[in-house]
Chains A and B, each alone.
Chain A
Amino acid sequence: MIRSEILKEIAPIIRDHLVVCNIGLPSQELHMIDDQPTNFYMLGTMGLSSSIGFGLALAQSKPVISIDGDGSVLTNLGTLPTIANNATGNYTLLIIDNGSYGSTGDQPTYAGKKTSLAAVAKACGCDNVIEVQDKDLGPVLQSAIDSDEMTIIVCKCDSGNIKLPVITMDPVVIRDRFMKAVAS
């Protein structure tokens, strides 16, 4: 499966939850598949999906899912020790690991070579790290959301992209409707 197929499959699972979605194609795909006020789309700032989602999870009690990518986590590897050492049960980090920088043309990442992000997360002190194949993600994600313990999911999948438009929604509109959804 490629990322857009995974997002289609998990859309019903994450629809009613707060989601911080990674820059570029992941946000564009989620926006096209199932736009929700509970989705915060990153239009820039590669690497910070996990940090934004984690700050949100620490600030309030609703479940938060950060959808991140292997390339973006590699950009901000310092996020994993911070998350591990300040764990909060309402947070799930979903790393869709297709071993490539999808938004820039599928150049390979080190996560698709020798580097295991699941092993890195464990070494950083994250207690619940699950590496899962794309087709098995749904139930794993659902139980992570339902669980009282923070979970890091590394979902291994194929690289590949679909053609789709950029998000033209104003960032302040995205942020404002998201904050209203958080507060509701």
Chain B
Amino acid sequence: MNIDKKIADDLVANDVSFVTTVPCKQLAGVIEEIEQRDDMFHIPSNKEDEGMGLCAGAWMGGKRPAIIMQNTAIGVTINTLATLIQYYRMPLPMIISYRGELREPVACQVEMAVHTKALLAQLNIPTYHFHWQKDVEEFDNILKYTFMCNKPVAILTDANFWGGYGDQ
């Protein structure tokens, strides 16, 4: 199964047409896939809170948005999640590279990984963790759930899910 293609296909099938991204090595393939699709507008952000602002505006303009980012961004975006996305009750699927989990080669990444789920839980953000490739089968239902309830929803995708870091 091509995970990048499956994620992009599910986004399109759920009418997600506005995607903002902050670069990530693990997510490079899916970002590339989205960039190549004509049915999704891809706009890179310089910072994740900026990206959430873009998504909020796009949603109010009639487009379903999504953001792709690393889990370190949870530390950057807590205020935006609480006072914009949640306060105004907006849907936002967050496809998150879960750095610092099993098979992680960079020790510093673990320092945010240990806080990631706790922060998401503190914010009452529905959170799904993709560890095995088959977990991606839930993605379509997660997108439907997100736009049903108008909440930010986190999809944490770890290194095992992506098949490790190669020779890094």
Contacts and interface: CB of A to CB of B under 8 A. Distances in A.
Interface of A: 20, 40, 42-45, 47-60, 76, 78-79, 81-82, 86, 171-172, 174-175, 178-179, 182-183
A55 B57 contact: yes
A184 B88 CA distance: 20
Classify the secondary structure of A's interface with B. helix
Nearest to B44: A82
Contacts of A60: 61-63
Given A58-B61, A82-B44, A47 B90 contact: no
B58 A47 contact: no
A72 B56 CA distance: 17
Given A55-B56, A182-B62, A44 B83 contact: yes
A58 B79 contact: no
A156 B41 CA distance: 35
15 contacts: A45-B83, A48-B80, A51-B57, A54-B53, A54-B57, A55-B55, A55-B65, A56-B60, A58-B41, A58-B43, A59-B18, A79-B50, A81-B46, A171-B88, A178-B60
Contacts of A40: 60
A179 B58 CA distance: 11
B84 A44 contact: yes
Contacts of A52: 53-54, 56-57, 60, 84
Contacts of A47: 49-50, 53
B92 to A, nearest CB: 12
Contacts of A57: 57, 61
B45 interface: yes
Interface in B20-70: 41, 43-47, 49-63, 65
Contacts of B129: none
B89 interface: yes
A56 B62 CA distance: 8
A171 to B, nearest CB: 5
A81 B46 CA distance: 8
